[in-house]
Amino acid sequence: MTTNNNFLKIILLALILILYINCNDRMNQKNSDIFHHKLDSLEGFEVKARSSEITKIDGQSVLKLDGMIVLHEHNISDARIEVEILAQESCYPGIAFRIADDKNYELAYAVPHVSGQTDAIQYDPVFNGSNTWQLHNGEPYQKTAEVPTGKWFSLRIEITGDRAAIWVDNQPPLIVEHLAHSQKSGSIGLWSYEPACFRNLKVAAPKEINDLKGKSVEAPLGAILDWKLQDGRILKCEPNGILNLNRYMPPSNNAMKVSRDFHLSAPAKVEIGIGFSDTLKLFIDGDEIFQGENLFKGFKDIPSRGWVSPDYKNIELQLNPGNHRIEAELQVKEAFGWGLLLTLKGQNLTMQSLE
C-alpha cells in the first residue's frame, strides 16, 4: 500500500512539473511576442501612404501599399520584426523602425528588381524626409540576396542597441554595426516605394543578433571628418567619413557651402579624393579645381547608382607652404542622399582646428 502511495505521489509530482514547464513556456512565449497583425485591415495604423488598400490575393486579405503606414501603439527599442512581402513588379518594400516622426526614421528594405546584386538588401536611414542610400552604400549597409518577384518572401529585422540584422528568407543577413539615428526607440511601420503587398506582421524580442558580426564602418584614410558651414556651425561627418547634409537640413535648403583650413609646413603635392552627391564645385584658396554632377541614372552598373565614393575623382596639386582653405559648394537635385566625402593627403600637411 505504501509503495502504491509513493508511486501516486511520484506521478502527481511529475504532472505538476509538466504543468509548470508548459505554463512557464507559455509565459515566456507571451513575453517574447509583442504582437501579431495579419494586415487584413488597417486597424491601428496611421496611413501616410500615397496609396494603401486591403485587397484579395488567392482568397486572402492582404495589404497593398505604396508609401508608409505607422503603428504608434507600441514604442519599441530592441525587437525582432518580420513581415511577408509579395513584389509583383519593381518596388522597394521594407520595414521602418525607431520612427521619431514621418521624416526621420530607420529603414531597411529588399529590392526585387536587383535580385542577386550587391544592393538587393538596403539599410537606408531617412533624415528630414530624404532617403540616404547614396551615402549608405557598400558592405556595411548593403547585401547580396535573391529577392523573388511574383512569390511571397519573408523580410526580418532584429534590432539591439546600435546594431541591426536584416534577412530575406533564411539567406545570410546584412549586419549593420552602426545605426545612423540617435533615437533609441520609436514606432514601427511598413514602407514601400512603388506598390507591394504585405501580410502577417510579427513583432517579438530579438534572439539571434548577438551572435552575428558585420562589416565595421570606417572612414577612408585622410578623410575630413568635420566641416565649417557658411554660417559658422561645425558639421560632423558620419562614421564612414561622409558629410550627411540631410542630417542637418531639409532638401529644400538646396545649396550649401562648407570649408576647412589646412597647413603645409613645406612645399608638397596634395592628393584630393572626391566623392559627392548631387552637384559639387570645389575650390582651393578661391580657385576652382573641380565641378561635377553625380546623380542616380539607373541600375546598369555601379557608377550609374550615384553612390558617394572617395574615388569618384582624384586630383593632385602642388601647393606652396602656408595656410590653405578648401571650400565645397553643394546642391541637391534628388532625394537619395546629399553629401560629401573628401580625403586630403600629403607630406607636411596638418588640418587646422575648427575652434
Long-range contacts of 36-40 (CB under 8 A, 24+ apart): 36/200, 36/201, 36/202, 36/203, 37/71, 37/200, 37/201, 38/199, 38/200, 38/201, 39/63, 39/83, 39/190, 39/198, 39/199, 39/200, 39/201, 40/199
pTM, full prediction: 0.88
User: How does DSSP assign 285-327, residue by residue?
Assistant: TTEEEEEEE-----SSSSGGGT---TTSEEEEEEE-SEEEEEE
Residue-level length of the chain: 355
Q: What are phi and psi of 245, to 5 degrees?
A: -65, -25
257-270 residue pLDDT tens: 999 999 999 999 99
Report how far residue 245's alpha carbon sits from residue 279's, in angstroms, rounded to the nearest whole number.
Answer: 13
For 159-181, what is the mean pLDDT? Answer: 97
- The reported pLDDT for the residue numbered 28 is 38
Name beta bridge partners: 336.
none
Confidence label for 56 from pLDDT (cuts 50, 70 and 90): very high
- Cell numbers for 4: 502504491
pLDDT at 83 over 70: yes
- The reported pLDDT for the residue numbered 224 is 97
For 221-250, what is the mean pLDDT? Answer: 95
- Cell numbers for 121: 538588401
Percentage of the chain exceeding pLDDT 70: 91
Report how far residue 106's alpha carbon sits from residue 104's, in angstroms, rounded to the nearest whole number.
Answer: 7
Show the domains of the chain with their CATH numbers. 35-211 (2.60.120.560), 226-351 (2.60.120)
Least reliable range by pLDDT among 15-19, 37-41, 116-120, 309-313: 15-19
Name beta bridge partners: 140.
none
Helix (H, G, I), strand (E, B) or coil at 26: helix
- The reported pLDDT for the residue numbered 355 is 76
pLDDT at 20 over 80: no
User: How does DSSP assign 51-106, residue by residue?
Assistant: EEEEEEETTEEEEEEEEEEEEEEEEESSEEEEEEEE-SSS-EEEEEEEEEETTEEE
- The reported pLDDT for the residue numbered 27 is 34
- 48, 102 Cβ separation under 8 angstroms: yes
Helix (H, G, I), strand (E, B) or coil at 181: coil
- The reported pLDDT for the residue numbered 25 is 39
Q: What is the CA radius of gyration of the chain?
A: 26
- The reported pLDDT for the residue numbered 33 is 73
For 240-251, what is the mean pLDDT? Answer: 93
- The reported pLDDT for the residue numbered 4 is 55
Report how far residue 124's alpha carbon sits from residue 93's, in angstroms, rounded to the nearest whole number.
Answer: 12
- The reported pLDDT for the residue numbered 12 is 56
Mean pLDDT of the chain: 91
- 145, 115 Cβ separation under 8 angstroms: yes
pLDDT at 279 over 70: yes
Report how far residue 125's alpha carbon sits from residue 26's, in angstroms, rounded to the nearest whole number.
Answer: 36
Q: What are phi and psi of 211, to 5 degrees?
A: -95, 5
- The reported pLDDT for the residue numbered 250 is 85
Report how far residue 115's alpha carbon sits from residue 48's, in angstroms, rounded to the nearest whole number.
Answer: 28
296-350 residue pLDDT tens: 999 989 899 999 998 899 999 999 999 999 999 999 999 999 999 999 999 999 9
**How many helices and strands (H and E) does the chain possess?**
2, 26
Cα atoms in the 13 Å half-sphere on the side-chain side of 343: 20
Confidence label for 253 from pLDDT (cuts 50, 70 and 90): confident
pLDDT at 249 over 70: yes
For 195-215, what is the mean pLDDT? Answer: 94
- The reported pLDDT for the residue numbered 278 is 95
Q: Is 26 exposed, middle or buried (0-12, 13-18, 19+ CB in 10 A)?
A: exposed
